[in-house]
Structure 1
């Protein structure tokens, strides 16, 4: 291995690690606030990439019907909760969700997205898919928010399996690979840096810095941090656990969809590709014990570098090498952490 090969492998490792870091952060965010290990996180990645692929291939955006179905199901849950609580006044958010779903679905199905500029395609992808995060929380997890972590994990796995089936139905078994954001490349000596790789790294850094600023500087961010540190104390201070859960799922879906849009020009994404990608982000999150954001990000970048260099030395075993790393990490965490009973 010479310097040029090592530099190329390092570039790929950092690019992949940036995506894994985003997914690791979203997994840690959701888990610390809601105690839910978000197994369906990878589906947002594959949905984002495949939706962009459908737009650029001129296919109808049938995923819009999924947004409409989720909004109707969430509205039905809201009406049922109002009836059970004896309330007669309808929340203004109820018709607003239905109007939003109708308008976005109309725009997705009626407009010719194949010839539109890339920023408009990305914006429509975000409008279609990001609301599915809080809708998923409302339908699946909010009714059982007080359940044990084991029950939440089982339900999360069930949601993942259901979404993989929906992805196969909506997008089909064929993969998709989209056009890069720009065709330019940066020459550094004998090393050629892909413009899409630079997009991935820069957008990932912006998202990480933006999340840090939100949690450190804004009132809502501090409220979510309080919910992560002490759920009962945050509830006593008037911080709604429902709001915290929906906000975390919104951030997770945003990160997942953006990650899918970023990596779609770099590799072919299939309907079930998201699980493997998010699983590597989960390995990075384990570095931080599912509680430390910096450690999770560093661990995810390390996973990306290990995966990239493994393709040179043992490409047939790169996945095995990455996932075997979780065993010593879990052993170290088990031996170095103080065990407490889970709160009732």
Structure 2
């Protein structure tokens, strides 16, 4: 390996690592508020990429039917909950919240159509269609079992992944999609050409990392959302609306997934089941941060990008195995880190 190849591998690692950063941020965001290890998060990224790819092929994306399906299920679940609580007077509000509002981007997609869309319009429609998926999945699947142990939530999340993947196969078919690059050109730095698309991806990851760190560390709303994960009943007693907090976390995470899908779509061919592999790599980055720290999760995701890039150069057939094997030393490091801090706390006591 010469220096030029080394630089190219680092560039590739930073680009893929930045995508994993966005996914790690979304996973940590959801876990910080709901304690859900959202295995299907990569599927939202895949839905975003497939939606933009469908618009580029001038056909209506299957995401519109998924949104309508989930909206109907969410309304039924909400109505059943209101009837059990003897609050049937709130059914019209539930219809507005869980049917009308999610259907707005669907209606916009049908009104605008999928023919000859400009790239900015296609991107905005893609984000608008993916955004409702987060709160709808939370209402249908996770809100009814919000107080369950983490292990139960994880098992449900795994089962949800297979359901979402099956629906992706139904709505999009088995063929893969890759979009055209949305920016072109290079920036020369030190004699090396850096693609503008790489700069855009890294900038997006850095901006979202900073925003989420500041939001959860320094704002009252962010601290309230974290309080829900730490003690759901205590948060409710001090006036925090726990169900709204969970839906908000899934909404924010879905927005990040939509942007990650748009960014990854020109660099990788996305299939209906690609989300699991991509999401697991973001999950490994989340482990570095202990599902708590956004900066550490970002660092972990970049490290995974480096491992994947150099692993594919030396052993391309085993690159995924190398990446997933990296979770072993990461978990050991986290275990030693937590153990040492526990010992220090005991000594102070």
* Structure 2 unaligned blocks of 5 or more: 343-349
- C-alpha offsets along residues 216-271 of structure 1, whole Å, 9 cap, x if unaligned? 45432231133344434322211122122111111221111110110101111111
Alignment correspondent of 2:24: 24
Please show how residues 1-344 of structure 1 align to structure 2 within 5 Å: 1-90=1-90, 92-338=93-339
Cα distance in 2, alignment partners of residues 97 and 4 from structure 1: 53
Q: Is there any run of 5+ residues in structure 1 with no aligned partner, and where?
A: none
1:52 Cα deviation from its structure 2 partner: 0.3
Offset at residue 100 of structure 1 (A): 2.7
The separation in 1 between residues aligned to 2:166 and 2:47, in whole angstroms, is 12
Mean Cα displacement is larger for which, 90-99 or 37-46? 90-99
Shift of the alpha carbon at 1:93?
4.8
SS at match of 1:92: helix
CA 1:160–1:230: 2 relative to 1, 3 Å: same
SS at match of 2:88: coil
- Give distance in 1, aligned partners of 2:178 and 2:334: 38
Which deviates the most, 282-291 or 300-309?
A: 282-291
Over residues 82-137 of structure 1, what are the superposed CA-to-partner deviations in whole Å (9 max), with x where a residue is unaligned? 11111132263532442233432222234233422211111111111111101100
8 Å CA contact 1:42–1:275 kept in 2: the answer is: yes
The count of aligned residue pairs is: 340
When normalised by structure 2's length, the TM-score is 0.92
Paired residue secondary structure (2:42): helix
Separation in 1 of the partners of 2:220 and 2:245?
Answer: 13
Q: Using a 3 Å threshold, how does the CA distance of structure 1 residues 333 and 101 change in structure 2: closer, same or farther?
A: closer
Distance 1:84 1:229, change over 3 A: closer
Secondary structure at the residue paired with 2:89?
coil
In structure 2, C-alpha distance between the alignment counterparts of 1:177 and 1:265, rounded to whole Å: 6
Contact 1:290/1:296, CA 8 A, preserved across alignment = yes
| Cα RMSD, aligned residues only | 1.9
Question: 2:223, 2:93 → 1: CA distance?
Answer: 26
Would the aligned equivalents of 2:176 and 2:272 in 1 still touch at CA under 8 Å?
yes
1:158-197 CA-partner distances (Å, limit 9, x unpaired):
1000000000111111111111112222122432212211
Query: CA contact under 8 A between 2:14 and 2:305: conserved in structure 1?
Result: yes
Aligned 8 A contact 1:72 1:98 in 2: yes
Pick which of 184-193 and 210-219 moved more: 210-219
- Stretch moving more, 218-227 or 141-150: 218-227
TM-score by length of 1: 0.93
2: distance between equivalents of 1:99 and 1:179?
A: 33
Measured against aligned partners, the alpha-carbon deviations of 1:300-321 in whole angstroms (never above 9, x if no partner) come to: 1111011111122222221111
